[in-house]
Amino acid sequence: MFSLLAANAQDYSSFHPGEIWKDTDGVPINAHGGGVLFYNNTYYWFGEYKNEKNNSAEHGVTCYKSTDLYDWENKGIVLEVDPVGSGSEIEAGCIIERPKVIYNEKTRKFVMYFHLELKGKGYDAARVGLAISDHVTGPYKYIRSGRVNPGKWPANMTTKQRESKITSSDVEKWWTPEWYAAVNNGLFIRRDFPTGQMSRDMTLFVDEDAKTYHIYSSEENLTLHIAELTDDYMDYTGNYIRIDPAGHNEAPALFKHQGKYFLITSGCTGWDPNPARLLVADDIMGEWTRYPNPCIGENSETTFFSQSTYIIPVQDKKDAYIFMADRWRPKNPVDGRYVWLPVFFNEEGMPFLDYQEEWDLTVFD
Ligand code: GAL
């Protein structure tokens, strides 16, 4: 039977990085800075619902659903912001970025973490927000937001670093050797110790042993942290580490392959793309080693004009991971594009990314 819906419906059998990607209703997908949860044989893509004017959250977090990763059905706004004037922490006009959802088998709750900036405060709040739901497609209930692990020291910070008396006023000029040394030695950790550590760009990772981690840009976006979550995913255990101090990593996307942990990140240049980085570890709680840009070929120096957001393990395929990135359009944020690429491995087992104008899942066979 002919229907309007069918006439508009998209039916993809390949990925087209950077092109407009329509949902099954024929409407461009609006799920930026996103992440994907695999649950009940289905992929759920969560992301920022962007508007045409600015980066503020006027609606909330969206969810799309797919069984083949090509065709996505819009499940709507699953975490809604509160109305203007409500005074709530997630009042319309706040900033909600990089939402990620995981499922807790023990509590049977879907747990969403996101980067939250309070309305009218620019990027000063640097908080992580938490919302939960009984159903994957929501509605998600906002629980709280805050900084991370107040009153707790990172496991890989020495006693000497913890007790140092150096403060920002001793090293006022950024990017000098003295300043680098001070940041490396925990300048901002000590400053934020009482109130908790800053948390901006972020992702979540559930390990094979079910231990779960929040990975976030902290310390004025200078240093990444990995913080372990409690069994119910609702809080932190207090165990956390700093990685690549003063390395200026944003946009963390983590995956595990053959026992090794790989983190793809970007540098910090706002909405402008820059060369990606690769960090590798045998143990998620460190040591992490930084490697150069894993992108090869033309436009590798801008990560193919994009910035990482998540890495999707493809189900039922061996060693198959999709690098998920955003091509931001800050002048018209809703027109930001998605760049999804297959992760390849070289002979040393190191991941690399090579641009494909069009590709499908058979690259993994
Ligand atoms: C980017 C970051 C985005 C957003 C933006 C704001 O570097 O990855 O998530 O925060 O900066 O300028």
Give the model confidence (pLDDT) of 187-224 as tens digits: 999 999 999 999 999 999 999 999 999 999 999 999 99
| Rounded average pLDDT over 311-331 | 97
pLDDT band at residue 4 under the 50/70/90 scheme: very low
Q: What is the mean pLDDT of the chain?
A: 96
Share of the chain above pLDDT 70, in %: 98
CB of 251 closer than 6 angstroms to any ligand 1 atom: yes
pLDDT at residue 2, rounded to an integer: 44
pLDDT at residue 6, rounded to an integer: 45
pLDDT band at residue 1 under the 50/70/90 scheme: very low
CB of 201 closer than 6 angstroms to any ligand 1 atom: yes
CB of 33 closer than 6 angstroms to any ligand 1 atom: yes
Give the model confidence (pLDDT) of 216-261 as tens digits: 999 999 999 999 999 999 999 999 999 999 999 999 999 999 999 9
Nearest CA to ligand 1 atom 11: 270
CA distance 328 to 346: 29
Nearest CA to ligand 1 atom 9: 201
Our mutation pick for probing the ligand 1 site, out of 328, 331, 339, counting the most ligand atoms within 8 A of Cβ, is 328
pLDDT at residue 10, rounded to an integer: 74
pLDDT at residue 351, rounded to an integer: 98
The alpha carbon of 270 and the centre of ligand 1 are apart by a number of angstroms equal to 5
Nearest CA to ligand 1 atom 12: 270
Nearest CA to ligand 1 atom 2: 270
Our mutation pick for probing the ligand 1 site, out of 50, 124, 201, 220, counting the most ligand atoms within 8 A of Cβ, is 201
Residue 8 pLDDT greater than 90, yes or no = no
| Rounded average pLDDT over 137-147 | 98
CA distance 61 to 99: 7
Our mutation pick for probing the ligand 1 site, out of 96, 128, 250, 305, counting the most ligand atoms within 8 A of Cβ, is 250
Backbone angles phi, psi at 284, to 5 degrees: -60, -30
Decide if 28 contacts 22 (C-beta within 8 A).
yes
Which residues make Cβ contacts (< 8 Å) with residue 78, sequence separation at least 6?
Answer: 46, 60, 61, 62, 63, 133, 137, 138, 139, 140
Nearest CA to ligand 1 atom 5: 270
| Rounded average pLDDT over 324-335 | 97
| Rounded average pLDDT over 47-57 | 96
pLDDT band at residue 97 under the 50/70/90 scheme: very high
The alpha carbon of 128 and the centre of ligand 1 are apart by a number of angstroms equal to 14
CA distance 222 to 159: 21
Where are the strands (E) in 183-334, listed by range?
202-206, 212-218, 223-229, 236-243, 250-257, 260-266, 277-281, 288-291, 295-296, 307-313, 321-327
The alpha carbon of 271 and the centre of ligand 1 are apart by a number of angstroms equal to 6
| Rounded average pLDDT over 104-113 | 98
Residue 285 pLDDT greater than 80, yes or no = yes
Nearest CA to ligand 1 atom 6: 270
CA of 307, closest atom in ligand 1: 8
| Rounded average pLDDT over 165-177 | 95
| Rounded average pLDDT over 270-288 | 97
CA distance 146 to 92: 18
Smallest Cα–Cα separation from 68: which of 350, 316, 309?
A: 316
